[in-house]
Amino acid sequence: MSRKSNKRFWGIILLNFMIKGAIDLFLDPYLMESFGYFYSLKITTSIYFIIGIVSVILYDYYEVDCLRLEALKRAHFYGKEINGKNRLIRLITRRSKKGKFILSLSLASKNPGLMVIYLRDGFGLYNGFSGKYILLYFLLNTVLINIYWNGIIYLLIILYKWIISVF
The model's pTM: 0.80
pLDDT of the residue at 90: 62
Cα–Cα distance for residue pair 117/148, rounded to 1 Å: 22
Digit-coded pLDDT (tens) for 37-96: 999 999 999 999 999 999 889 888 888 877 777 877 777 777 776 666 556 666 665 655
Q: What are 75-84's pLDDT values in tens digits? A: 777 777 666 6
- Confirm if 9 and 1 have CB atoms less than 8 A apart: yes
